A = this chain, B = another copy of it.
């Protein structure tokens, strides 16, 4: 089968490898789609992903596949099921999986079967990802391309839960890319009283308003700190860095209220910073949530699907481009162009 490889120099190429083998509690899926992740994928390509240095690697971690074969002990999956988050688990040739979902085939596990067969949590066979490899039901109002977006939705929602957003509170979200827009939309859907979103691109500012932001600022043409302080003289409950720029940490200090929180979700290329809390209140928190647990992603599934099925969350609103797998390297070129109109890019397999 074909798969996308990145080498240690960041060069991408589509290579031929063997189809993955699956265990008795696993299923083989034919990939349908996979989202391109601005953050993790880009960092893996540029060699900037913290603690990852085993190249060449197979990328892809926002995939959707259709079950084509099932292991003998599988209970909860059947041929034809559309499933989220297939991965390659094992090394293939010399290629380490950087999750590996940009492949024609991949693997999902049946958590229930693992547990029933004494291979649940705590045993070597277990992989927490099985808890997040949810089946998309036939009645769910989403197609394979849209489903790729659910991976991001669940990551963001589980981060929001970790950050502890509460209804009636206020949040400032910096960055209105796909992730920032998710934060914007979800913060409103969760009943937060005031949601402010900022971006440097006017087009994204407008998107944020459409997503329900109470205020949206173009920080390239206004003084964001001044604007927010005028609205919230006593500060904001949460400031989210949805892009990964360390300078935002210091700017946020002026804006968070006493006992407020600065939330780092975007992953900075530089995992160090000079922080200065002279302008912060006496009590404040800086929280990094940059790797939502798969268990928590699985737990976010009901909420996301409920919003999608009730028609208030449309995955396609977050997707700007769809590429066929054969043109996958073009997708990455497009990412590097950082165009104003690019939102989430999804790869589809024919």
Contacts and interface: CB of A to CB of B under 8 A. Distances in A.
A303 interface: yes
Interface stretch (A72-80, A84-92, A185-193, A320-328): A185-193
Contact of A121 (B120, B271, B274, B282): B120
Contact of A122 (B116, B189, B277, B290): B116
B275 A306 contact: no
A277 B282 contact: no
A259 B287 CA distance: 9
Given A122-B116, A191-B303, A193-B302, A275 B278 contact: no
Contacts of A310: 188-189, 212, 312
A309 B191 CA distance: 11
B286 A286 contact: yes
Interface residues of A, number: 56
Given A115-B122, A311-B312, A283 B272 contact: no
Interface string A116-128: 1111111101000
Given A310-B188, A312-B312, A271 B282 contact: no
Nearest to A159: B283
A103 to B, nearest CB: 24
A284 interface: yes
Given A116-B122, A192-B302, A275 B273 contact: yes
A283 B291 contact: yes
A185 B99 CA distance: 37
A289 interface: yes
A285 interface: yes
Given A273-B275, A275-B272, A310-B188, A291 B282 contact: yes
B118 A121 contact: no
A70 to B, nearest CB: 20
A295 to B, nearest CB: 11
Contact of A282 (B50, B190, B302): B50
Contacts of A283: 162, 287-292
Interface of A: 50, 115-123, 125, 162, 167-168, 188-193, 212, 258-259, 271-278, 280-293, 299-300, 302-304, 306-307, 309-312
Rank and list the top 8 A-B pairs by shortest CB-CB distance, nearest first.
Answer: A191-B303, A282-B291, A115-B122, A312-B312, A118-B118, A272-B276, A285-B287, A193-B302
